[in-house]
C-alpha cells in the first residue's frame, strides 16, 4: 500500500516542526528564566527569531512560543505586549534584506514595547528600560543569533531542514 504524501497548509510534518520550534522557545526561556525576564533580559530563545528570515512559517511557532513563555513572566501584561512585540518583529523580519537587518527587528520592537511595559509596571524611566531590553536582545539575536545562523548557512543539510 502506498502512502499519500501530505501537501497543503496543515501537513503533519509542518505542524510537528512548528510545534517543536515553539516548544524549544518555551523550554529555553523557562530553563533560563532567571535571565529571560526583567529590564536586562538575555532571552536566548530570541535567537530563534532568525528562523523567520529563512521561512515565514516559523513566525507562527515563535509567536505561540513567546506567548506560552510569557505565561511564566512576573508581569501579567507580558503575554499581550511581549507577544505583540514578537508579532511585529516577525513582520519586519519578513521584509528584511539580510540577516543582520532582520536581527535588529526584535531588538527594536522589544526595546520599544517591552520597555514601555516595564515603565508602566515598575514606574521606571522608559529610555533606560528600552536601552536595557535592546542591549539583551542585541546580544542574543544580533550577535549570538547571527553568528549561529551564519554557521548554519554553511551546512546544506541543516538549511534544507530549516527551509522545507
pLDDT tens for the chain, 164 residues long, are: 434 455 556 789 899 999 999 999 999 999 999 999 988 899 999 999 999 999 999 999 999 999 999 999 999 899 999 999 999 999 999 999 999 999 999 999 999 999 999 999 999 999 999 999 999 999 999 999 999 999 999 999 999 999 88
CATH number at residue 143: 1.10.1760
- Cell numbers that stand for 153 in this block: 548557512
Query: Does residue 93 belong to any structural domain of this protein?
Result: yes
Tell me if 46 sits within 8 A of 137, measured CB to CB.
Answer: yes
Number of domains in the chain: 1
Query: Does residue 7 belong to any structural domain of this protein?
Result: no
Tell me if 113 sits within 8 A of 130, measured CB to CB.
Answer: no
- Cell numbers that stand for 98 in this block: 539580510
Query: Does residue 76 belong to any structural domain of this protein?
Result: yes
**What whole-number distance in Å separates Cα of residue 137 and Cα of residue 145?**
10
**What whole-number distance in Å separates Cα of residue 29 and Cα of residue 12?**
26
Query: Does residue 64 belong to any structural domain of this protein?
Result: yes
Tell me if 42 sits within 8 A of 34, measured CB to CB.
Answer: no
Query: Does residue 132 belong to any structural domain of this protein?
Result: yes
Query: Does residue 84 belong to any structural domain of this protein?
Result: yes
Closest CA to 88 of 71, 105, 104, 76: 105
Give the domain extent around 30. 12-163
- What radius of gyration, in Å, describes the C-alpha atoms of the chain? 16
- Cell numbers that stand for 97 in this block: 534584506
96 secondary structure, DSSP code: -
- Cell numbers that stand for 84 in this block: 505583540
Query: Does residue 3 belong to any structural domain of this protein?
Result: no
Query: Does residue 24 belong to any structural domain of this protein?
Result: yes
pTM: 0.92
**What whole-number distance in Å separates Cα of residue 1 and Cα of residue 16?**
24
Amino acid at each position: 500500500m502506498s502512502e499519500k504524501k501530505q501537501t497543503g497548509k496543515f501537513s503533519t510534518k509542518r505542524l510537528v516542526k512548528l510545534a517543536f520550534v515553539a516548544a524549544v522557545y518555551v523550554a529555553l526561556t523557562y530553563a533560563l528564566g532567571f535571565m529571560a525576564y526583567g529590564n536586562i533580559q538575555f532571552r536566548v530563545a530570541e535567537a530563534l527569531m532568525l528562523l523567520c528570515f529563512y521561512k515565514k512559517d516559523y513566525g507562527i511557532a515563535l509567536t505561540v512560543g513567546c506567548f506560552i513563555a510569557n505565561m511564566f513572566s512576573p508581569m501579567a501584561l507580558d503575554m499581550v505586549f511581549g507577544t505583540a512585540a514578537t508579532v511585529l518583529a516577525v513582520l519586519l523580519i519578513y521584509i528584511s534584506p539580510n540577516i543582520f537587518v532582520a536581527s535588529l527587528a526584535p531588538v527594536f520592537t522589544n526595546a520599544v514595547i517591552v520597555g514601555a511595559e516595564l515603565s508602566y509596571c515598575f514606574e521606571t524611566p522608559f529610555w533606560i528600560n528600552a536601552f536595557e531590553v535592546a542591549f539583551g536582545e542585541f546580544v542574543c539575536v544580533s550577535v549570538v543569533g547571527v553568528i549561529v545562523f551564519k554557521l548554519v548557512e554553511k551546512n546544506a543539510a541543516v538549511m534544507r531542514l530549516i527551509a522545507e
